Amino acid sequence: MTFFPPWPNCIVLNTAGKNTEITRSVLGAYRKPKPAVMAAKPKLWYFHGRGRMESIRWLLAAAGVEFEEEFLETREQYEKLQKDGRLLFGQVPLVEIDGMELTQTRAILSYLAAKYNLHGKDLKETVRYQSARANTWFFSKLCLPIRRLRSDAAFQPGGRGGDKGRCFLALAVKKAKTRYFPVFEKVGCGDPDFLVGNKFSWADIQLLEAILTMEELDASVLSDFPLLKEFKTRFSNIPTIKKFLQPGSQRKPPPDSHYVEVVRNILQF
Amino acid sequence: MAGKPKLHYFNGRGRMECIRWLLAAAGVEFEEKFIEQPEDLDKLRNDGSLMFQQVPMVEIDGMKLVQTRAILNYIATKYNLYGKDMKERALIDMYSEGVEDLGEMIMHLPLCPPDQKDAKIAQIKERTTNRYFPAFEKVLKNHGQDYLVGNKLSKADIHLVELLYYVEELDPSLLANFPLLKQIQLYPPRQGRRVARSWAPVTAQTTLGTIFFGREQPADR
């Protein structure tokens, strides 16, 4: 990139080898910043599908963090991870980040949220910050029962389309409509822009994910929740999230029979 | 001076027990309001005290916190039981989640239909000896310290000890092959009432002198 100082060159250059105050300050104004150390990208180990890794993908994507993925396709891959001692409790998701091998979805989400400043308002050591953190935790956790129902649905005999699968999905939609969405709608009233602490937090991301996946199951699920509709529109347009929602992103599709087969084969159940 | 935290729950372990342990380990006195009749729970709901109509609920520092993990995280942060930085917290979270996974299986056992109970118990024992206990034993062995993370007491240690007691109630022999875990367990149960006197050697760094749990108040700290 060519650099065109607004002053004649003689002022920018050292005159007579002396570093005058004026020169230093001008140089300081135009000096390029130290090149940032290229941090290694986080690496995600999971099956090629949503499951428990999807909320982690959402969080990284929303934070604008590029990440790599290794997909588990065979039992051998999984056993190798276990044998190498990389899975603390023998389970995935596994995320390699900052020299750590983190497992346990919530632990990973919490670390990433803290690292990329998605915990709500950034006030350290104040009750407000701590309560904001506590709030984001439980708002985000709320989406879990619905998610569990959805993923369990895929693993019922006949998959999501079978009798039991459809039952689980219907229950997920019902819970969303009657228990969880009303609360978020009400809280949205108090804080027009964001769920927690007037700053985009991981609770917002999780809620958006829950809304979108519920809409996949029932397009009218938001019909009684105008504030949530508005929330969804607003958040879907945030550049990083908008990018993640485009085809070709690392977002995964709903589980199909092939996914279920791979997971059953690898985890042997 | 802030009032004591007030715990709203049934008079039993359930999801409140780990919170009681954590407060006790932090040396924090707390009050409890037991839900004994359906009307008690209805009242809490109608007052708008329960954000998602569920207990546990803890009144603390002017907030009415619900969701067990949120409560635990708040208490741990407040009383310095959550590590010194983000990375330590990640490890603490990871270990706590593992403890919770096994603890949840044990907690749900009474609700298990009788014909499935034996299979469930077998599964719990298998997971304990093959998945969870080896993981924690390995962590302790690798760094050779008394505590799971950062050579300092954290919520992970407290949750683990609580779990060890539950596993022992289920089957004491399960601890047999895990010497390091046995070591961090404290006094053996006495007549159903268990009181722990000290956590670890009291050093200048130890911030807790006494842990108590149950309804008894500590004699001294």
Q: In 3D, which of A85, A42, A100, A49 has the Cα closest to residue A255?
A: A49
What's this model's pTM, rounded to 2 decimal places?
0.77
Asked if pLDDT for residue A233 goes beyond 60, the answer is: yes
Q: What's the confidence (pLDDT) of residue A166?
A: 86
Q: In degrees, to the nearest 5, what angle opens at C-alpha A118 toward C-alphas A113 and A121? A: 135
Q: What tokens appear for A86 in the block?
A: 């990389």
Considering only CB atoms, which residues of chain A are within 8 Å of chain B?
A: 85, 88-90, 98, 100, 102-108, 110-111, 114-115, 127, 130-131, 133-135, 137-138, 141-142, 179-180, 183
Q: What's the confidence (pLDDT) of residue B32?
A: 95
Task: Report yes or no: B59 at the A interface, CB cutoff 8 Å.
Answer: no
Asked if pLDDT for residue B109 goes beyond 80, the answer is: yes
Of A85, A106, A138, the CB nearest to B93: A106
Q: What's the confidence (pLDDT) of residue A7?
A: 45
Q: What's the confidence (pLDDT) of residue A1?
A: 43
Of A85, A106, A179, the CB nearest to B97: A106
Q: What percentage of chain A reaches a pLDDT higher than 70?
A: 70
According to DSSP, the residues that pair with A71 across neighbouring strands are A46
Q: What is the pLDDT of residues A27-36, one digit of tens each?
A: 555 555 555 5
Average pLDDT over residues B137-142: 94
Helix (H) or strand (E) holding A100, with range, is: strand A100-103
Q: Is A45 helix (H, G, I), strand (E, B) or coil?
A: strand
Of A102, A127, A183, the CB nearest to B94: A102
Q: What is the pLDDT of residues B44-101, one digit of tens each?
A: 999 989 887 889 999 999 989 988 998 999 999 999 999 999 999 999 999 999 999 9
Task: Report yes or no: B104 at the A interface, CB cutoff 8 Å.
Answer: no
Nearest C-alpha of chain A: how many angstroms from B42? 16
Q: Which of A135-144, A257-266, B174-183 has the lowest mean pLDDT?
A: A135-144
Burial level of A170, CB count in 10 A (0-12/13-18/19+)? middle
Asked if pLDDT for residue B189 goes beyond 50, the answer is: no
Of B62, B73, B97, the CB nearest to A134: B73
Asked if pLDDT for residue A133 goes beyond 80, the answer is: no
Q: What's the confidence (pLDDT) of residue A183?
A: 76
Contact: A100, B90; criterion CB under 8 Å: yes
Q: In 3D, which of B171, B193, B189, B57 has the Cα closest to residue B106?
A: B171
CATH (residue range B6-79)? 3.40.30.10
The Cα-based distances of A18 to A8, A15, B216 in angstroms read 17, 6, 77
Asked if pLDDT for residue A253 goes beyond 60, the answer is: yes
Asked if pLDDT for residue B218 goes beyond 70, the answer is: no
Nearest C-alpha of chain A: how many angstroms from B80? 11
Q: In 3D, which of A246, A241, A247 has the Cα closest to residue A61?
A: A241
Nearest C-alpha of chain B: how many angstroms from A1? 38
Q: Which of A202-206, A262-266, B10-14, B141-145 has the lowest mean pLDDT?
A: A202-206
Q: In degrees, to the nearest 5, what angle opens at C-alpha A156 toward C-alphas A150 and A157? A: 150
Contact: B94, A103; criterion CB under 8 Å: yes
pLDDT-derived band at A79, boundaries 50, 70, 90: very high
Q: What's the confidence (pLDDT) of residue B67?
A: 86
Contact: B67, A141; criterion CB under 8 Å: yes
Q: What's the confidence (pLDDT) of residue A39?
A: 66
- A260 or B194: whose pLDDT is higher? A260
Q: What's the confidence (pLDDT) of residue B183?
A: 81
Asked if pLDDT for residue B205 goes beyond 50, the answer is: no
A chain contacts of residue B90, beta-carbon cutoff 8 Å: 100, 102, 107-108, 110-111
Q: What's the confidence (pLDDT) of residue A49?
A: 93
Of A90, A103, A183, the CB nearest to B51: A183
Contact: A89, B69; criterion CB under 8 Å: no
A chain contacts of residue B51, beta-carbon cutoff 8 Å: 138, 183
- Residue ranges covered by each domain of chain B: 6-79, 86-186
Q: What's the confidence (pLDDT) of residue A167?
A: 87
B6-79 shares its CATH topology with B86-186: no
Average pLDDT over residues A216-228: 90
Helix (H) or strand (E) holding A68, with range, is: strand A68-71
pLDDT-derived band at B120, boundaries 50, 70, 90: very high
Q: What's the confidence (pLDDT) of residue A23?
A: 47
A chain contacts of residue B66, beta-carbon cutoff 8 Å: 138
Asked if pLDDT for residue A161 goes beyond 70, the answer is: yes
Chain B residue with minimum CA distance to A88: B135
Nearest C-alpha of chain A: how many angstroms from B132? 6
Helix (H) or strand (E) holding A119, with range, is: none
Contact: A138, B67; criterion CB under 8 Å: yes
Burial A107-128 (b: 16+ CB within 10 A, else e): bbbbbbbbbeebbbeeeeeeee
How far is it, in rounded angstroms, from Cα B212 to Cα B20?
A: 10
Domains, in order of start, for chain A: 2-28 (no CATH), 43-115+257-267 (3.40.30.10), 123-236 (1.20.1050.10)
Q: In 3D, which of A261, A251, A134, A258 has the Cα closest to residue A201?
A: A134
pLDDT-derived band at A205, boundaries 50, 70, 90: confident
Q: What's the confidence (pLDDT) of residue A38?
A: 55
Please state, rounded to an integer, the average pLDDT across all residues of chain B. Answer: 82
Q: What's the confidence (pLDDT) of residue A138?
A: 54
Kindly give the pairing relationship between strand A100-103 and strand A94-97: antiparallel
- For domain B86-186, give the fold: Glutathione S-transferase Yfyf (Class Pi); Chain A, domain 2 (1.20.1050)
Of A90, A98, A131, the CB nearest to B63: A131
Average pLDDT over residues B125-144: 95
How far is it, in rounded angstroms, from Cα B6 to Cα B59?
A: 5
How far is it, in rounded angstroms, from Cα A100 to Cα A119?
A: 21
Q: In 3D, which of B99, B119, B97, B100 has the Cα closest to residue B109?
A: B119
Q: What is the DSSP string of A132-165?
A: HHHHHHHHHHHHHHHHHHHHHHHTSTTGGGSHHH
